[in-house]
Amino acid sequence: MHRWKKIHALQEKINTLQEKINALQEKINALQQKIHVSREKDSCIARKEIHALQEKIHALQEKIHALQEKIHALQEKIHASRERNSYIAREGFMHSKGRSYASQEKDLPITRKSTSTTSFFFAKINDIKRTGNISLFYFFDIKGRVH
């Protein structure tokens, strides 16, 4: 359950970073309005003001880009965490009686005649006494081609 808390915390960080991006974009809009006003002034003074404002805009855009990269990294963490959660749920990675699921599984080769080469199925037996299920995972021939 704590993984979901981590995902929620990462989403909160993303939201705060997006709010910062919005605030920076508002600053950029205000600076662009100042540029528009300064263009109506004396041309020599206006050029200096415009240049200074454009440098500020550029710095703010770099901050926005850095924040967007942080958001992307956080989204990748969320995605990886969700993949781990689905893997754990899919594989039934449950710890029971001090033994992990991985230590309980067994791999058995089951052979089958093929017209060209001998082929193998590798089966994973999931506690046959309890469930009676056998899951087939891989089928490949001796030449190493996976089917």
Q: Domain range holding 112?
A: 102-141
Q: What is the CATH classification number for the domain harbouring 85?
A: 1.10.287
**Residue 52 and residue 116 in one domain:** no
For 115, half-sphere exposure in the C-beta direction (CA atoms, 13 angstrom radius) is: 0
pLDDT of the chain along its 147 residues, tens only? 477 788 888 889 889 999 999 999 999 999 888 888 877 776 777 778 888 889 999 999 999 999 999 999 999 988 888 887 776 665 655 544 444 444 544 444 444 444 444 444 444 444 444 444 444 444 444 444 444
User: Which residue(s) pair with 139 in the sheet?
Assistant: 121
Is the pTM here over 0.85, yes or no?
Answer: no
What residues pair up with 100 in beta bridges, in sequence order? none
83 and 55 inside one domain? yes
In a domain, 96, yes or no: no
The answer on 121 and 59 residing in a single domain is no
Rg over CA atoms, the chain: 30
> How many domains are contained in the chain?
2
Grouping H, G, I as helix, E, B as strand and the rest as coil, residue 143 is: coil
Classify residue 146: in a domain, yes or no: no
